[in-house]
Structure 1
Amino acid sequence: MAVASDIAALPARERGRSWLLRFLVKLGSLIVSVVLTVLGLLLVTFMIGRVIPVDPLLAMVGDRASEEIRARAAAEMGLDLPLWQQFIRYLGDVLQGDLGNSVLSGQPVLTDIGRFFPATLELATTATLLGVCLGVPLGVLAATRHGRWQDQIIRIVALAGYSVPVFWLGLVGLLLFYAKLDWVAGPGRIDVAYEYSIEPVTGLMLVDTLLAHDTDAFFDALSHLILPASVLGYFSLAYITRMTRSLMLAELGHEYIVAARVKGLPERRVIWRHAVGNIMVPLITTIALSYAYLLEGAVLTETVFAWPGLGLYITQSLFSADLTAVLGATIVIGLVFIGLNLLSDVLYTLVDPRAT
């Protein structure tokens, strides 16, 4: 009896070891790929800082500084070292959380990013939620009504989202909904009357106003957020709708969908449980990429709406030739992409255990 039980238990042990081995191999390859990606990101940003025809010494000491002052500043910044030594020094500084000091603000770049990034995070997150909540159902509807008038209208709406320039749409939105109809608040993140009465706890204005128990400030911040989030969310909606439609059209052509319908399963269950369930892995990738692009590509939206986020910070730094701030923000954006890709991998295993 004991021998029989040991034999029966052996395949389970082997399966457990095999799963553990696959998990460790995937974890190791994931760590190696992340390390190589981060090193590549840092190398690219370092080379950009050396290739762009902007003199960092000029931005730091001015154009009237003597050669002695320039030489001293170059030594302090390590610009007198060979290129490979400069990269090693740059790599060590970044790994310690030192992205340099901004010429424009005189503060560490990481401090500036910590002040500006929450605004971009709040804007991009709201826009992505709008894109997902509307884009996925619209994409599913377009696929299930393929070739009909619903499909045509949804395709036109999605195509317009790719075609209309974001700055034009933002200006028209401000003119119509703010200047003419007065439905929403204007540029900025919150009214001046509330700006200094809200203590920045999380950096997210909606959360901070709720923590301060100030409902008037909350609705004012929400009124400022609605229009830029809707403009940015429209582009997220267009991308997610088109990708969901394409994925669903391919999935609805599989034989198991026909078999489920022949068995008499309700159409709602066939569509939302079986078809949508099987496109979740590529759909997660689509949503993650859309979110990352909104975090990185909100420059025009933030400029039009005077939204004090990372995009506006990069724009102001570019106009001021503050290369240190621009490269620091670029590193943060790159790390956001890497982090979202890692999050996608984790969600894959939760949605589809076969991904392990």
Structure 2
Amino acid sequence: MASTDTAPPRRRSRLVHNLKRLGATVLALAATFLGLMLITFVIGRVVPIDPVLAVVGERATTAQYEAAREALGLDRPMWEQFVIYVRDALTGDLGTSIRTRTPVAEDIARYFPATLELATIATIFGVLLGIPAGVLAATRPGTWIDQLVRLIGLMGYSMPVFWLGLMGLLLFYGILGWVGGPGRLDAGFEMMFEFDVPRVTGMILIDTALAGKWDIFRNALSHIILPAGVLGYYSMAYISRMTRSFMMNELSQEYITTARVKGMPEWRVIWVHALKNVMVPLITVIALSYANLLEGSVLTETVFAWPGLGLYITTALFSADMPAVLGGTVVVGIVFVALNMFSDILYRLVDPRAR
């Protein structure tokens, strides 16, 4: 009877606790968003580029210059400009690109799927190769397998991404002809994709598979395999290193020794019990690696002429197109925060202790 009476207060206490945690999360996200907006706003005002001149040109009269300055809202106080900037961003208005003359949000919606597709495949490569390599290295410390995994990881950290991409193009495309060249599709297939394939996600592999256009799918796959492999190698180096470190720490725990003493098969000790606990911190590592690929694939996209968000921001920067640069930076920041939040949720689902 007593347990029945105490059940409702316990449920209320749990509900209050969950609401408080939800409120703290919302406040943290709001503070992060405002901080991100403030940083991009300050950058847009500090860089030695006059946005008014970028719009009207250097031959504009004083009257035209002042009219454009007033239209852009640059004649208002800084605090008011910031409030307008945040308000517009919350409604999805990231400004208009000076270079393309279209809303930045529309440009990003067109370019971002290419980066998402590239980074996702690269992360899959990194996870499928990096985790087994790290586990094998941790279970055989000091052996040639361990030394090889560490050497491959060191090379992945040391070699510049743009150099690796250029060498890959020279060897696998220029000499051997095993993969497609720069861009997402050959010219002929690009026309077919524009007119014959409905845009569902903006990612060519998924859209062509849904439409059953397997010839375009194969051509797109031949183009993405090399840049995704270059980024995947970088991701694999990071993931294998962290997996090795986590596994070596986990294999020294007492419960692992107890399992071995009880006669449990070694493969089960390593790949079930130890790896299960390693996956908890490894989720954060994978999420951070994915976020880094989404925001840091600028050089790879430039080398492979990959029409993604990184190439879009770089081209806008060279064209003094600050609305596009700042809009792209805001989107990258939001994606980074979202992935961190998603990894935190997965962390709590996998590890009951975190709940």
* TM-score bracket for this pair, using the shorter chain length: over 0.9
- Tell me which residue corresponds to 2:217: 218
**Equivalent residues in 2 for 1:72-111, closer than 5 Å:** 72-111=67-106
After superposition, the C-alpha distances for 1:51-71 in whole angstroms (9 at most, x for unaligned) are: 011100011110011111111
- Tell me which residue corresponds to 1:317: 316
Is residue 165–residue 304 contact of structure 2 (8 Å, CA) maintained in 1?
A: yes
- Tell me which residue corresponds to 2:239: 240
Cα distance change, pair 269–9 in 1 and its aligned pair in 2 (3 A) = farther
After superposition, the C-alpha distances for 1:228-249 in whole angstroms (9 at most, x for unaligned) are: 0000100000000111111111
Letter in 1 for 2:57: G
CA distance in structure 2 between the aligned counterparts of 1:265 and 1:20, rounded to whole angstroms: 42
Which has the higher mean CA deviation after the structures are superposed, 175-184 or 205-214? 205-214
After superposition, the C-alpha distances for 1:151-176 in whole angstroms (9 at most, x for unaligned) are: 11100000100000000000000000
- Tell me which residue corresponds to 2:126: 131
After superposition, the C-alpha distances for 1:101-134 in whole angstroms (9 at most, x for unaligned) are: 0011000000000000000000000000000011
- Tell me which residue corresponds to 1:304: 303
Is residue 281–residue 347 contact of structure 2 (8 Å, CA) maintained in 1?
A: no
Is residue 52–residue 69 contact of structure 2 (8 Å, CA) maintained in 1?
A: yes
- Tell me which residue corresponds to 1:120: 115
- Tell me which residue corresponds to 1:355: 354
- Give the TM-score normalised by structure 2: 0.96
The CA RMSD over aligned residues, in Å, is 1.2
After superposition, the C-alpha distances for 1:286-318 in whole angstroms (9 at most, x for unaligned) are: 000000000000000000000000011011101
Cα distance change, pair 276–19 in 1 and its aligned pair in 2 (3 A) = farther
**Equivalent residues in 2 for 1:202-281, closer than 5 Å:** 202-281=201-280
- Tell me which residue corresponds to 1:287: 286
**Equivalent residues in 2 for 1:29-48, closer than 5 Å:** 29-48=24-43
Q: Describe the SS at the equivalent of 1:220.
A: helix
Q: Aligned-pair distance for 1:19? A: 3.5
CA distance in structure 2 between the aligned counterparts of 1:152 and 1:337, rounded to whole angstroms: 33
- Give the TM-score normalised by structure 1: 0.96
Q: Which one of 64, 71, 74 corresponds to residue 66 of structure 2?
A: 71
Q: Aligned-pair distance for 1:349? A: 2.1
- Tell me which residue corresponds to 2:136: 141
CA distance in structure 1 between the aligned counterparts of 2:299 and 2:18, rounded to whole angstroms: 42
CA distance in structure 1 between the aligned counterparts of 2:351 and 2:18, rounded to whole angstroms: 14
Is residue 123–residue 232 contact of structure 2 (8 Å, CA) maintained in 1?
A: yes
CA distance in structure 2 between the aligned counterparts of 1:16 and 1:172, rounded to whole angstroms: 61
Which has the higher mean CA deviation after the structures are superposed, 24-33 or 303-312? 24-33
CA distance in structure 2 between the aligned counterparts of 1:201 and 1:70, rounded to whole angstroms: 42
Q: Aligned-pair distance for 1:15? A: 4.8
Cα distance change, pair 22–263 in 1 and its aligned pair in 2 (3 A) = farther
- Tell me which residue corresponds to 1:162: 157
In structure 1, runs of 5+ residues without a counterpart are 1-5
CA distance in structure 2 between the aligned counterparts of 1:146 and 1:24, rounded to whole angstroms: 47
Q: Which one of 51, 56, 61 corresponds to residue 51 of structure 2?
A: 56
Is residue 40–residue 326 contact of structure 2 (8 Å, CA) maintained in 1?
A: yes
Which has the higher mean CA deviation after the structures are superposed, 244-253 or 106-115? 244-253
Q: Aligned-pair distance for 1:8? A: 3.1
**Equivalent residues in 2 for 1:339-350, closer than 5 Å:** 339-350=338-349
- Tell me which residue corresponds to 1:173: 168
After superposition, the C-alpha distances for 1:313-341 in whole angstroms (9 at most, x for unaligned) are: 01110110101100000000000011101
Q: Describe the SS at the equivalent of 1:26.
A: helix
After superposition, the C-alpha distances for 1:9-28 in whole angstroms (9 at most, x for unaligned) are: 35655554443333222211
CA distance in structure 1 between the aligned counterparts of 2:139 and 2:284, rounded to whole angstroms: 22
- Tell me which residue corresponds to 1:3: none
- Tell me which residue corresponds to 1:7: 2
- Tell me which residue corresponds to 2:189: 194
After superposition, the C-alpha distances for 1:202-222 in whole angstroms (9 at most, x for unaligned) are: 100001111221111110000
CA distance in structure 1 between the aligned counterparts of 2:86 and 2:151, rounded to whole angstroms: 47
Is residue 52–residue 68 contact of structure 2 (8 Å, CA) maintained in 1?
A: yes
Q: Describe the SS at the equivalent of 2:192.
A: coil
Q: Which one of 10, 18, 23 corresponds to residue 23 of structure 1?
A: 18
Aligned identity (percent) is: 61
Letter in 1 for 2:20: V
Q: Describe the SS at the equivalent of 2:229.
A: helix
CA distance in structure 1 between the aligned counterparts of 2:77 and 2:58, rounded to whole angstroms: 24
